[in-house]
Structure 1
Amino acid sequence: MNRLQLEDWLVLATTLLFIVIYGAWKTRKHSKVSDYLRGGNSAKWWTVGISVMATQASAITFLSTPGQAFHDGMGFVQFYFGLPIAMIIICMVFIPLYHKLKVYTAYEFLEQRFDGKTRVLTAFLFLIQRGLSAGITIFAPAIILSAVLGWDLYMLNIIIGVLVIIYTVTGGTKAVSVTQKQQMAVIFAGMFIAFYLILDGLPEEVTFTKALDIAGASGKMDILDFSFDFENNYTVWSGIIGGTFLMLSYFGTDQSQVQRYLSGQSVKQSQLGLMFNGLLKVPMQFFILLVGVMVFVFYQYNSAPLHFNPSNVAEVMESPYADQYKSLENQRSLVEAELFSVQNAMAANSSSSENQELINQMKSLQGQDKQLREQAKELILKVDPNATVNDKDYVFIHYILNNLPKGLIGLLLAVILSAAMSSTASELNALGTTTTIDIYKRSQAVERDEKFYIQKSKWFTALWGVLAILIACVANLFENLIQLVNIIGSIFYGNVLGIFLLAFFIKHVKSRAVFAAAILTQAIIIALWFWDAIPYLWLNLIGCALVMIIAILFQSVDRKA
C-alpha cells in the first residue's frame, strides 16, 4: 500500500521543514515574558481566528471526521451546533475580564476571586486532560500512518513531537500563531484538492447533485436528529446543550485556547477572532464531513477493502481464520459487483418509479455489505480479543494512498501532519505557560527577572513535549479518535467551567465551598463515565451544574467557607 514516490517525499518534507524553520526563525527573539507567553499582544483578529481554529483542528479532525461520515453520515456536524452560542458568551464575558486583569493564564483570575488552592486545582485538572490530549494528537496520525505505510510507530511519534518542540520552545506563543497560518493554508488547500479529485473520480454521468442523491438515499445526508435518545451521542439537543457547555469550557477555560486570544492586540481584535471562528467552524466541519460522504459515494463505483485497517487484516491472514476471511472477501466482491451495476443503472435512469426500485436494491446490497464487514470484525476479534475493530480512522487515508496522483499524496500527508503539529504546538505552549505561571512562579518566595521565567517556560514546554511523546508511545487506539479527545475533555471541562461561572456570577460563594465541590464533582463525573451511565457530551452540562449546586449548598451550610 506504500505508494509514496520521490515527489511525495519532496512535497511532504519541504512543507513540514518550511513551517518549522520559518516559525523558529521568525519568532526567535524574546526579551519579555509577555512577548513569549502572549505574543506581545500583537495578533490581529484574523491571526487570532485562524490560530483558535487550528488549535482545535488536529490531525484527528482530518483523519477521523471523513471516516465518521463514511460510516455514519453527516449527523456528527450536530456536535458543533453549540459553538456559535459559546463564542458569543465568551466574547461578552470572558475576553473583557481576561484583558482587564492582564492575566497570562485563565487560572490566575481564580486566585483573585477565590484562593491559591482553587487556582492550582483548576490548573492541575487542565494539565492532566491537556497533557493526555497532547499525547493523543501526536499518536493519532502516527498510529494510522504507521499502519498504512509501514513506518515505525515510535519513530513517527518522536519525529512529530520533536518538530513541534523545536519551534514552540524557540518562539513561544507567537511561533504557534505564525506557523498555524501556514498550516491552515496547507490544510485547506489539501482538503479542497481532495474534494475535487473525489468528484473527478466518479463516473462522468454522476454529477455532484447525483452524488448527493446517492448519499441521501443511503442515509448519509441525515443531518438533523431532534430525538431525545440518550443512546445517541449526536442529536440537535446534545449538540446545542451539551456542545455549548463543552465549547464554553474549552474556549473559555482551556489555556490552549485562552492563550490564543490573549495574544490579540485588543479586546475587539480577540472578540472578532473568536466570532470569525464561530462563523467558519461549523461550515468547515460540514465540508470535512461532506468529503467523507463523497468518499462513500466514490466507493459505490470503485472497489473498497472489506476492512480498512491493514494491520488487522494482516493479523487475520496469518491466523487459522484466513480462509474464512477470504471467503468473506469473495462474498463481498459479488455484492460489490451487484452494487456497481445498480449504481450505474441509477445514474443513467431518470424514471422516479424505476429509480425507487433501484434505491431499494441499493439499500439491500448496502445492508449485506455492512453485515459482511461486521462478520470480518468478529473474525478479527477472534484472532485478537483486544484488537480495535473500528476502522473509521483508516478510510480517508486509504483513499488518499490508493487514488491520488503522486505529489498530491505528499500534500495530503502534509495536511495530516500539519494539523497534528498545529494543535500539539498550542497544547505544549499552554502546558508550559500554565506550569510556569500557575504552579512554579507562584511557589517561588523570591521574584525573579523576566529572562529567568522565559527560560523556565521553555524548559517546561520541552518537558511536556517529551511527556506527550511518551504518552503517544504507550497509547492504544480507542474506537474513533475524535471521540476520544472529546471524551477526555468532557470528563474535566464541565467541572472547570462551573468553577469559572461561580467566580463570574455567584459572588456569595467562597473558596472553601468551591474547592470541596470541585473535588466531589470530579469524582462523580469520573464514576458516571466509568459506568457508561450517560453519553459523554452530557457530562459537560452535568459537571457544570453539579459543581455549582454543590458549592452553593456547601456555602449555605458553612457560612465561614
Structure 2
Amino acid sequence: MNNLPIIDLVVIAVYLLAMVLVGVYFSRKNTSTDAYTKAAGSIPSWAIGISLYATFLSSNTFLGVPGKAYGANWNAFVFSLSMPLAAFIAAKYFVPFYRNHKTVSAYTNLENRFGAWARSYAVVCFLLTQVARMGSIFFGISLTLQALTGLDMSVIMLVTGVCIVVYTVLGGLEAVIWTEVVQGLLLTVGAVIVIGTLIYNTPGGTDTIIDIGLRDNKFSLGSFSLTDFSSSTFWVILLYGFFMNLTNFGMDQNYVQRYHAAPSAKEATKSVWLCVWLYLPISLLFFVIGVCLYAYYDVNPELLVTVKEQAALERMGAGGNLAGTMNVLTPADYGDKVLPHYMVNHIPVGILGLIVSAILAAAMSTISSGMNASATVFTEDIYKRYINPNISDKGNLRLLLICTGVFGVIGMSAGIAMIGVQSILDVWWTLSGIFAGGMLGLFLLGITNKKVGNSDAMLATGVGIAVILWMTFSYLLPEHYAFLRNMLHANMIIVVGTMAILLVGNISQRLRPKA
C-alpha cells in the first residue's frame, strides 16, 4: 500500500471537512422547498456561471480527458468546440422558456404539452443519465485515490460518498453552487500545477513536448472526412457534442435549476455564457496535460512499467501471461492510469494534497449537483405527481433530504459496478448518448412545431426508442445477421435518435387527418 505524506493527508482532510461545514452553514437557510431547490433566486450570475463550469469539469475531465489525449489525440476537444452554438440556442430560447414557466422541474412542461407519459419518460431518461454520470465520476475519483493509497476502490467510494452526501443533503442548492465556485477554481489551479511540473520535469521542456506531439500526431482533431460516421471523426464528435450540450443546457435539471436560482432571465443567460468561455480554454488545458504526459513518458519509458503491469493484471484474468499481455497493450489501454501514476511519483509533497483535493472537488461538484437535481425531479415529477400531490412544504423538504441521500447511495453503487472499465470518458459518453437521445428529441419536437399532437409525439418517441435500442445493441446479433448491425459510431446514437423523433413527429403531424 502506498502512503501519502502526512501534509497531503492533512490538506485533503481539511478540504473534506470544509465542504461538510459549508453544508452545515447553509442548512440554516433551508427552511422551505423553494430555498432548497432554487436558493430563493438569490445567486449572482457569475457564481452560477462558475458552478455550471465546475459541473462540466468533473473528475471525468481531470482523468478521462488527459487519458484520451495520451492514448489518442485531441479529437475529444471537438466536444468543447460545439458548446458555443448549443449555448446560443439555450440563451435565446431555453432560458426564457424556463424562466417564464416558473416550475422548478424541467419536465413539468412536457406534460402540459403532450401528457403525463411524456413527462414520465423524460424523468426516467434524466434519472438514468444522472446515475450513469455519478457512477462514472465515483469510479474516476476512486481510480486516482487507489493509486495514491492502495485502498480498495469500493472503500474509497464509500468514504468520499459519505462526505458528499452530508454536505449536499444539509446545504441544498445554495451550498452546491457556492462549493462549486470554490471547486471550479481549485480544479483550474490543480490543472495549471500539473502542467507546470510536467514541463519542468521533461528534458527540453515545451520544445520537447511540442516535437513529440507533432511527431506522433497528438494534436490532431480527428479525420475531417464527410463520409465516415463509423469512427470518431471531427464531425462525429462535433455532432455528438452539439446534441449533448443542447441536452445539458436545455433539458438537464442540473442546469435548469440554476436558471431559476438567478435573480432574472438576463442574469441566467449571462451565467450560461460565462460557463462556455471558462470551459473552452480550461478544457484545452487537460488535453495539454495529456500531450505533456505522453512526451514525459516517451522520454522516460522505463517509468511506465508499473502502469502497464496494473493495466495488464486487470485485463488478463486468472492464468494469463503478464509479459505477453503487457506487450499487446496500447497507450489507449492504460491512458486513464497515467496521470494518477505521475501524481504519485512526481508531484511535490503538499502540492499533491492540493491536486487530490482538486480532483475531489471535480467529483464532488458534479455528484452533489446530480444528487440535488435527481431528488428535485423525483419529488416534483414522481412523488407529487403520482403519490401525494398535497404534501406540505415541510413534508416536501423532508422528502427532498431523504431522496438526496438515496441518490447519492445509488450513484456510489453505479460507480462500484463500473470497476474494471477501460476508459471513463468512453463509458460516460456512450451511456449519456443512449439515455439522453429520446429526451432531447421529444423536447425539441414540442417547442419547434406547435401543431404536433400527443399521438404524433408518442409515435415519434416509440420510433426513436426503437432506433436507439437498435443502434446500442445490434452488435449482439449473430454473424449471419451482421448486415443488420449498426455501422455508425456509438456517439451517433444521440444524434440519430433525436433526429428520428423530430422527423417522425413532423411527418406524422402532416399526414394526420385534420379535425
CA distance in 2: counterparts of 1:74 and 1:3, whole angstroms: 34
Cα offset, 1:171, TM superposition: 1.5
Query: Contact (CA 8 Å) 1:148, 1:309: kept in 2 or not?
Result: no
Query: What letter is aligned with 2:231?
Result: N
The one of 382, 400, 405 aligned to 1:439: 382
Cα offset, 1:3, TM superposition: 4.7
Query: Contact (CA 8 Å) 1:428, 1:461: kept in 2 or not?
Result: yes
- Residue in 2 aligned with 1:70? 70
SS at match of 1:96: helix
- The answer on 1:542 being equivalent to 2:485 is no
Query: What letter is aligned with 2:282?
Result: M
CA distance in 1: counterparts of 2:219 and 2:149, whole angstroms: 32
Structure 1 residues 322-401: aligned runs within 5 Å:
325=323, 374-376=327-329, 390-401=333-344
Q: Deviations over 1:337-395 (max 9, x none)?
A: xxxxxxxxxxxxxxxxxxxxxxxxxxxxxxxxxxx955257xxxxxxxxxx98211101
Describe the shift of the 1:443–1:392 C-alpha distance in structure 2 as closer, same or farther (beyond 3 A).
Answer: same
Cα offset, 1:27, TM superposition: 4.3
Cα offset, 1:181, TM superposition: 1.1
CA distance in 1: counterparts of 2:244 and 2:378, whole angstroms: 23
Describe the shift of the 1:551–1:209 C-alpha distance in structure 2 as closer, same or farther (beyond 3 A).
Answer: same
- The answer on 1:477 being equivalent to 2:416 is no
SS at match of 2:333: coil
Query: Contact (CA 8 Å) 1:58, 1:137: kept in 2 or not?
Result: yes
Query: What letter is aligned with 1:255?
Result: Q
TM-score by length of 1: 0.84
Query: What letter is aligned with 2:221?
Result: I
- Residue in 2 aligned with 1:232? 231
- Residue in 2 aligned with 1:509? 452
CA distance in 2: counterparts of 1:522 and 1:88, whole angstroms: 28
- Residue in 2 aligned with 1:551? 505
Query: Contact (CA 8 Å) 2:54, 2:180: kept in 1 or not?
Result: yes
CA distance in 1: counterparts of 2:276 and 2:217, whole angstroms: 28
Query: What letter is aligned with 1:470?
Result: S
Query: Contact (CA 8 Å) 2:99, 2:265: kept in 1 or not?
Result: yes
Structure 1 residues 7-26: aligned runs within 5 Å:
7-26=7-26
Query: Contact (CA 8 Å) 2:70, 2:291: kept in 1 or not?
Result: yes
Q: Deviations over 1:512-558 (max 9, x none)?
A: 32123213311321220223522122222211111122223344455
SS at match of 1:64: helix
Q: Deviations over 1:462-487 (max 9, x none)?
A: 11112222222233333311121111
CA distance in 1: counterparts of 2:80 and 2:463, whole angstroms: 29
Query: Contact (CA 8 Å) 1:307, 1:376: kept in 2 or not?
Result: no
SS at match of 1:489: helix
Cα offset, 1:173, TM superposition: 0.9
Query: Contact (CA 8 Å) 1:126, 1:254: kept in 2 or not?
Result: yes
Describe the shift of the 1:457–1:288 C-alpha distance in structure 2 as closer, same or farther (beyond 3 A).
Answer: same
- Residue in 2 aligned with 1:521? 464
Query: What letter is aligned with 2:502?
Result: M
SS at match of 2:342: helix
Cα offset, 1:255, TM superposition: 1.0
Q: Which moved more, 1:114-123 or 1:428-437?
A: 114-123
- Residue in 1 aligned with 2:479? none
- Residue in 2 aligned with 1:112? 112
Structure 1 residues 59-98: aligned runs within 5 Å:
59-98=59-98
SS at match of 1:304: helix
SS at match of 1:127: helix
Cα offset, 1:318, TM superposition: 11
- Residue in 2 aligned with 1:402? 345
Describe the shift of the 1:552–1:231 C-alpha distance in structure 2 as closer, same or farther (beyond 3 A).
Answer: closer
Describe the shift of the 1:216–1:27 C-alpha distance in structure 2 as closer, same or farther (beyond 3 A).
Answer: farther
Describe the shift of the 1:286–1:446 C-alpha distance in structure 2 as closer, same or farther (beyond 3 A).
Answer: closer
Query: Contact (CA 8 Å) 2:161, 2:408: kept in 1 or not?
Result: yes
CA distance in 1: counterparts of 2:461 and 2:314, whole angstroms: 46
CA distance in 2: counterparts of 1:242 and 1:292, whole angstroms: 22
Query: What letter is aligned with 1:458?
Result: L
CA distance in 2: counterparts of 1:419 and 1:114, whole angstroms: 37
Query: What letter is aligned with 1:10?
Result: V
List alignment gaps of at least 5 residues for structure 2: 476-485
CA distance in 2: counterparts of 1:52 and 1:278, whole angstroms: 9
Structure 1 residues 202-217: aligned runs within 5 Å:
202-203=202-203, 206-217=204-215
Cα offset, 1:32, TM superposition: 2.4
- The answer on 1:448 being equivalent to 2:397 is no
Query: Contact (CA 8 Å) 1:24, 1:170: kept in 2 or not?
Result: yes
Query: Contact (CA 8 Å) 1:76, 1:234: kept in 2 or not?
Result: no
TM-score by length of 2: 0.91
| Length, aligned pairs only | 502
Cα offset, 1:279, TM superposition: 1.8
Query: Contact (CA 8 Å) 2:24, 2:170: kept in 1 or not?
Result: yes
Cα offset, 1:43, TM superposition: 1.6
- Residue in 1 aligned with 2:373? 430
Query: Contact (CA 8 Å) 1:70, 1:292: kept in 2 or not?
Result: yes
CA distance in 2: counterparts of 1:148 and 1:321, whole angstroms: 26
Structure 1 residues 5-404: aligned runs within 5 Å:
5-146=5-146, 149-203=149-203, 206-223=204-221, 225-228=223-226, 229-235=228-234, 237-302=235-300, 303-306=302-305, 308=307, 311-313=310-312, 325=323, 374-376=327-329, 390-404=333-347
Q: Which moved more, 1:224-233 or 1:389-398?
A: 224-233
Q: Which moved more, 1:86-95 or 1:42-51?
A: 42-51
CA distance in 1: counterparts of 2:320 and 2:383, whole angstroms: 56
Query: What letter is aligned with 1:187?
Result: L
- Residue in 2 aligned with 1:356? none
The one of 345, 357, 375 aligned to 1:414: 357
Describe the shift of the 1:399–1:547 C-alpha distance in structure 2 as closer, same or farther (beyond 3 A).
Answer: same
Cα offset, 1:10, TM superposition: 0.8
Q: Which moved more, 1:530-539 or 1:433-442?
A: 530-539
- Residue in 2 aligned with 1:383? none
Query: What letter is aligned with 1:52?
Result: L
CA distance in 1: counterparts of 2:352 and 2:407, whole angstroms: 31
SS at match of 2:299: coil
Describe the shift of the 1:273–1:317 C-alpha distance in structure 2 as closer, same or farther (beyond 3 A).
Answer: closer
Of structures 1 and 2, the larger Rg is shown by 1
SS at match of 1:286: helix
Q: Deviations over 1:409-450 (max 9, x none)?
A: 222211222211111001111100000001111224652322
Q: State percent identity of aligned pairs.
A: 28
Q: Which moved more, 1:507-516 or 1:298-307?
A: 298-307
CA distance in 1: counterparts of 2:396 and 2:371, whole angstroms: 16
Describe the shift of the 1:282–1:477 C-alpha distance in structure 2 as closer, same or farther (beyond 3 A).
Answer: farther
Q: Deviations over 1:78-114 (max 9, x none)?
A: 1222111000000000000100111201101112222
Query: What letter is aligned with 1:63?
Result: L
SS at match of 1:249: helix
Query: Contact (CA 8 Å) 1:147, 1:309: kept in 2 or not?
Result: no
